[in-house]
Structure 1
Amino acid sequence: MLLAGGQIGYNWQKNGWVFGVELDASGAVSDGTNTCLAASGFVVSANCKAGPNVFATGTGRVGYAFGALGRTLAYLKGGVAWQNNRGDVVNNFEGGAPQEKTHFDYGRLGGVIGLGVEQALTSAWSVNVEYDYLHFGGPSVATPPTVQNPPFAILPANITSLSSSYHIGKIGLNYHFGADPWVVRWPDAPLYAKAPAGAAPIAYTAGWSFEGGSRLWLSRGRFQWDRSAVASGGLEDPSMLISRLTYHGLDGLSGELFGRLDSPWGVFLKGNIGLGRFDKGHMNDEDWGLPPNLSYVNTISGQANGRYTYYTADVGYNFLRAANYNVGGFIGWTYYEQSSDSRGCVQIAAPPPCLAPDDDQVVGSQNTQWNAARVGLSAETMLTERWRLNADVAYLPWTDFKGRDHHLLRPTTMFDEQRSNGGRGVQVEGVLSYFVTRNFSVGVGGRYWAMWTNSRSDSLCSSSGCVEPTMLAKYSMERWGTFFQASYKLD
């Protein structure tokens, strides 16, 4: 999900404490899918698509300004939130009969809490990095009584309440009205000394500099393949599925090298490269309308021999520069590849067994390769003499995906060639560093990556057992986690 928007607010300051109220509104680009109404293997369940397109919040915040001239503000916030959520509930494949869908579009009130750091660039301009958690209720859905097996049980009628929650990272540029745009202090802050009125920010006078180091990234990954029941070129809704494979809980550990080169003119180059492994996680293989009369099948397998590699490379320009901060835009490229084997197969939704619970033979494998262009913002500020905060936000306006899936448990080995026809994504990270010496620093940070294809990408079964045409498909990936780093700066 990608957001863009604006905010307006009012602050009061007493000594180092800052109190404020804010209103903000954002437009969102999002498109999530998952199985819903899967009460039993005897019922053809649905594919639910949901995507909030508007968020609005009204919050109060309290923070404390510290550092030289009180330029750094750490704050907490909380209040009410509103979202507009829209999407479809699409009945999945049940043997060729025409399928219908239910569209929903509703607004819902909820709550928001958050925390952040705001850095004054001048008295009028500031930049902030913020994390928000939003939670919303939703409509209720009634489900009829049905039969479950395994284990055998009669499921009574029930009412399911829908809800949604979001973890959102933000980076913002703020203008404070009624303040001298070139004076470095908080407005109405009598406790702190005033910089010379009308003075421009100190120019970034350093020459060439290079900072490089290594990171250890503890992360969790997810990959989802939605295989449509609609053939390529078909006019039906591609969200009607015949199969979905979801790889989740892919907990990995990767080592990474990174570096950044800055020139005296504000131009910079930066990038990273990493390699990781995982042997944890599960794969759910869901199928609908399998012959002769299976409405819904869901098997679960473990993951082994997981590997992933990645790199990013960017070139940019710092359009805001001073002795203690810089803000720049960049363009670049990113690559991510992941592969793993699926072991074992246990049926959890329908009576027919798959494998014995203790049988861990390899039943399949998946390889994915993502390439994408990056456009984004990079910000860096010294909070105090030794503490530094960095943040990168990148939008991926175009993605290219290639993959191959192997099904090894069938009489004839089958594999699917997976291709995309475009897509989008987002990559966000932030790191807080401490300079042990003038040149050596250690830090801790967080990172979130997501990429997805258009819903009319392709899946082509390519083996002697295939008799079907190219089918529509959608692919998506996520990886997020915490990293620890050590770096050395030469200037």
Structure 2
Amino acid sequence: MFKRFFALLTVTFLCFQAQAADYNIKGSPQYQAPTLRGSIGLRYWYSQNNSELDTGDLNWNTVDGVSSHTAEIVGELEVLTTSTFVRGYVGLGRNFGGEGDFYTNPSGDLEESALGYVVVDGGWRFASFANEMVRLKGFVGYHYLNDSIDAEDGRTVIEQTRQWHAIRVGLTAEGDISERVSWSFDVAAVPWSHTRVETWESQWTHGVETDLMLNLDLTRNWQVGVGGRYWWLQSNFDRRWVSDGSKAVFEQNYQRYGLVLESRYLF
């Protein structure tokens, strides 16, 4: 009897140990640090546009003092394990006011016209300082810009479409001023772009694009910001005069700059 009792006790103990081990393995909470973080939000950009297209001696096209109101959708996703990120924004808006001269003839006030653009960047964080209070990122990206001009001088209607397909190579610096206040600065060089003004095409384009933002965390997941943006794109168009066939180089200088307001949801 004693031997049977001892054997039963031994089997019961071993079964209890096995069950306890299984419980500890399956029941213990497993914690894993998040590998992704990102944001999605809305922006408003109030900007001014000035542009010139000339040979130095002949003014072919001048636009000055155009005001634009643009709404944007912006998003960013970062992989923390690899310090890589992808981000972008899409903007649609309207141009208002301004004056223009076309083909040496003053056109007077410009009509309303469309403005649209897409910017997509991808890159990596390669350095941080001051206990990660300041961070540096490099990126390569693509910028599509479509900016139309409509003008009427009472006799002639001028509709001109301008498009850019540009490559961006740049640097981002960002940092924390306090627990709730942060800043970011982007500067991108444009080493190449395919540019089109109506039927004219250019493969020779360079420029600079910058963004500066100051952000405030209202809650853990809600952030608002204010800042500025500047775009400068310069293109050359090789043409020939019909009269004698001689070469003429038209240079286009395009500038757009203004105030940016932002609201983001962080996740």
Instruction: Map 1:261-276; keep pairs closer than 5 Å.
Output: 261-264=77-80, 265-276=82-93
Alpha-carbon distance between aligned partners in 2 of 1:312 and 1:479, rounded to the nearest angstrom: 15
Q: How far does the alpha carbon of each residue in 1:206-262 deviate from its partner, in whole angstroms, 9 at most, with x for none?
A: 631011101000000122111x4xxxxxxxxxx4x3333111111000000111111
Which residue of structure 1 lines up, in the alignment, with residue 226 of structure 2?
A: 444
Q: CA deviation at 1:325?
A: 3.4
Alpha-carbon distance between aligned partners in 2 of 1:364 and 1:459, rounded to the nearest angstrom: 21
Q: CA deviation at 1:418?
A: 1.4
Alpha-carbon distance between aligned partners in 2 of 1:316 and 1:460, rounded to the nearest angstrom: 42
Alpha-carbon distance between aligned partners in 1 of 2:192 and 2:211, rounded to the nearest angstrom: 20
- One-letter amino acid of the counterpart of residue 330, structure 1: F
1:383 aligns with 2:177: yes
TM-score where L is the length of structure 1:
0.45
Alpha-carbon distance between aligned partners in 2 of 1:428 and 1:477, rounded to the nearest angstrom: 14
Q: 1:429 aligns with which of 211, 215, 222?
A: 211
1:453 aligns with 2:213: no
Alpha-carbon distance between aligned partners in 2 of 1:333 and 1:477, rounded to the nearest angstrom: 18
Which residue of structure 1 lines up, in the alignment, with residue 192 of structure 2?
A: 398
1:474 aligns with 2:251: yes
- One-letter amino acid of the counterpart of residue 458, structure 1: D
Alpha-carbon distance between aligned partners in 2 of 1:479 and 1:468, rounded to the nearest angstrom: 36
Alpha-carbon distance between aligned partners in 1 of 2:226 and 2:262, rounded to the nearest angstrom: 6
- One-letter amino acid of the counterpart of residue 281, structure 1: G
Alpha-carbon distance between aligned partners in 1 of 2:100 and 2:43, rounded to the nearest angstrom: 28
Q: 8 Å contact 1:302–1:342 — kept in the other structure?
A: yes
Instruction: Map 1:269-418; keep pairs closer than 5 Å.
Output: 269-285=86-102, 287=104, 299-321=106-128, 322-344=131-153, 360=154, 362-404=156-198, 417-418=199-200
Q: How far does the alpha carbon of each residue in 1:388-410 deviate from its partner, in whole angstroms, 9 at most, with x for none?
A: 10110101111221111xxxxxx
Q: How far does the alpha carbon of each residue in 1:421-463 deviate from its partner, in whole angstroms, 9 at most, with x for none?
A: 3120100011111100011011111000010113xx23479xx
Q: How far does the alpha carbon of each residue in 1:362-418 deviate from its partner, in whole angstroms, 9 at most, with x for none?
A: 5312110011111111122111111110110101111221111xxxxxxxxxxxx21
Alpha-carbon distance between aligned partners in 2 of 1:329 and 1:242, rounded to the nearest angstrom: 40
Alpha-carbon distance between aligned partners in 2 of 1:433 and 1:318, rounded to the nearest angstrom: 20
Q: CA deviation at 1:306?
A: 1.4
Alpha-carbon distance between aligned partners in 1 of 2:58 and 2:172, rounded to the nearest angstrom: 42
Alpha-carbon distance between aligned partners in 1 of 2:178 and 2:34, rounded to the nearest angstrom: 19
RMSD of aligned Cα (Å)? 2.1
Q: 8 Å contact 1:341–1:362 — kept in the other structure?
A: no
Which residue of structure 2 lines up, in the alignment, with residue 257 of structure 1?
A: 73
Alpha-carbon distance between aligned partners in 1 of 2:218 and 2:151, rounded to the nearest angstrom: 45
Q: How far does the alpha carbon of each residue in 1:258-278 deviate from its partner, in whole angstroms, 9 at most, with x for none?
A: 111111121111111101101
Alpha-carbon distance between aligned partners in 2 of 1:278 and 1:468, rounded to the nearest angstrom: 38
- One-letter amino acid of the counterpart of residue 223, structure 1: S
Which residue of structure 2 lines up, in the alignment, with residue 220 of structure 1?
A: 48
CA distance 1:423–1:301, shift in 2 (3 Å): same
Structure 1 gaps, min length 5 = 1-204, 229-238, 288-297, 345-359, 405-416
Question: How many matched pairs?
Answer: 231
Q: CA deviation at 1:302?
A: 1.3
- SS state of the match for residue 304, structure 1? coil
- One-letter amino acid of the counterpart of residue 426, structure 1: V
Answer 1 or 2: higher relative contact order, Cα 8 Å, separation at least 6.
2
CA distance 1:396–1:385, shift in 2 (3 Å): same
Alpha-carbon distance between aligned partners in 2 of 1:486 and 1:262, rounded to the nearest angstrom: 18
- One-letter amino acid of the counterpart of residue 320, structure 1: A
- SS state of the match for residue 384, structure 1? coil
TM-score where L is the length of structure 2:
0.80
CA distance 1:337–1:376, shift in 2 (3 Å): same
Alpha-carbon distance between aligned partners in 2 of 1:460 and 1:303, rounded to the nearest angstrom: 29
Structure 2 gaps, min length 5 = 1-32
Which residue of structure 2 lines up, in the alignment, with residue 488 of structure 1?
A: 265
CA distance 1:364–1:438, shift in 2 (3 Å): same
Alpha-carbon distance between aligned partners in 2 of 1:387 and 1:475, rounded to the nearest angstrom: 39
Taking every aligned residue pair, what percent have the same amino acid on both sides? 29
Q: CA deviation at 1:300?
A: 4.1
Q: 8 Å contact 1:399–1:451 — kept in the other structure?
A: no
Q: CA deviation at 1:286?
A: 6.3
- One-letter amino acid of the counterpart of residue 225, structure 1: L
Which residue of structure 1 lines up, in the alignment, with residue 11 of structure 2?
A: none
Q: 1:243 aligns with which of 54, 59, 62?
A: 59
Q: 8 Å contact 1:399–1:452 — kept in the other structure?
A: no
* Larger Rg over CA atoms: 2
Q: 8 Å contact 2:192–2:203 — kept in the other structure?
A: no
Alpha-carbon distance between aligned partners in 2 of 1:386 and 1:273, rounded to the nearest angstrom: 27
- One-letter amino acid of the counterpart of residue 302, structure 1: D
Q: Which moved further from structure 2: 467-476 or 393-402?
A: 467-476
